[in-house]
A = this chain, B = another copy of it.
Amino acid sequence: MRQVEHIRLRKSMKVSDLVKQMDATGVLGAGKIGEAAKLVGEIFSDKDYTTFLTLAGAMVPAGFRHVIRDLIEDEYVQVLVTTGANMVHDMVESLGYRHMVGTFSAEDVKLKKQNIGRIGDIFIQQEAFQALEKWLYKTVEAIPEEKRKRISAAEILREIGEQIKDKDSILAAAARRNVPVICPAFVDSIAGFQLWTFGQDKTLRLEPFLDLNLLMDKVYEAKKVGIIMLGGGVPKHFALFANTFREGVDAAVQITMDRPEPGGLSGASLEEAISWGKVKPKGRAVTVVCDVTIAFPLIVAAALEST
Task: Give bound CA distance, A268 to B12, whole Å.
Answer: 34
Instruction: Pick from B185, B207, B261: contact of A291, CB below 8 A.
Output: B261
Stretch touching chain B among A63-71, A132-140, A154-162, A171-179: A63-71
Give min CB distance, A35 to chain B, whole Å.
10
Given contacts A106-B275, A207-B206, contact A100 B264 (CB under 8 A): no
A213-236, CB under 8 A of B: which get 1 and which 0?
Answer: 000000000000000000101100
Q: A212 touches which one: B21, B66, B106, B187 (CB < 8 A)?
A: B187
Which residues of the partner chain B approach A190 to less than 8 Å between Cβ atoms?
Answer: 241
* A248 and chain B: residue at smallest CB distance: B112
Main secondary structure of the interface of A (DSSP, over half): mixed
Give A262 to B104 CA distance when docked, in angstroms: 11
Q: Are B70 and A274 in contact (CB under 8 A)?
A: no
| Residue with the highest number of chain B CB atoms closer than 10 Å, among A28, A58, A112 | A28
From A5, A105, A258, residue with most partner B Cβ within 10 Å: A258
Given contacts A28-B263, A101-B4, contact A207 B209 (CB under 8 A): no
Select which of B3, B196, B268 is within 8 A of A99 by beta carbon: B3
With A28-B262, A257-B262: A298-B294 Cβ-Cβ less than 8 Å = yes
Closest CB of chain B to A286's CB: distance in Å? 12
Question: Is A80 in the interface zone, CB < 8 Å from B?
Answer: no
Residues of B within 8 A of A264 (CB): 56-58, 231, 233
Tell me which residues across on chain B come within 8 A of A33, comparing CB atoms.
Answer: 294
Of B5, B13, B58, B117, which is within 8 A of A28 by CB? B58
| B272 adjacent to A118 (CB under 8 Å) | yes
Contact A100 B2 (CB under 8 A): yes
How far is it, in angstroms, between the C-alpha of A187 and the C-alpha of B112 when the chains are bound?
34
Residue of B nearest to A69 (CB): B6
Q: Is the CB of B265 within 8 A of A27?
A: no
Over the window 194-206 of chain A, the binary record of Cβ atoms lying under 8 Å from chain B Cβ atoms (1 yes, 0 no) is 0110010000111
A148 to B67, CA, bound (A): 42
Q: Is A164 an interface residue (CB 8 A)?
A: no
Using an 8 Å CB-CB cutoff, how does the interface string of A238-265 with B read, 1 for contact, 0 for none? 1001100000000000000111111111
Q: Are B121 and A30 in contact (CB under 8 A)?
A: no
Q: Which residues of B contact A130 (CB under 8 A)?
A: none
Contact A85 B272 (CB under 8 A): no
User: In chain A between 94 and 114, which residues have their CB closer than 8 angstroms to a CB of chain B?
Assistant: 98-102, 104-106, 108-109, 111-112
A-B contact pairs, 27 of them (CB 8 A): A1-B101, A6-B63, A7-B297, A8-B70, A9-B297, A14-B14, A26-B101, A27-B99, A27-B121, A28-B58, A29-B262, A29-B294, A31-B101, A61-B263, A108-B275, A112-B274, A112-B275, A112-B281, A118-B276, A185-B188, A187-B212, A193-B242, A204-B209, A205-B205, A206-B207, A257-B258, A262-B289
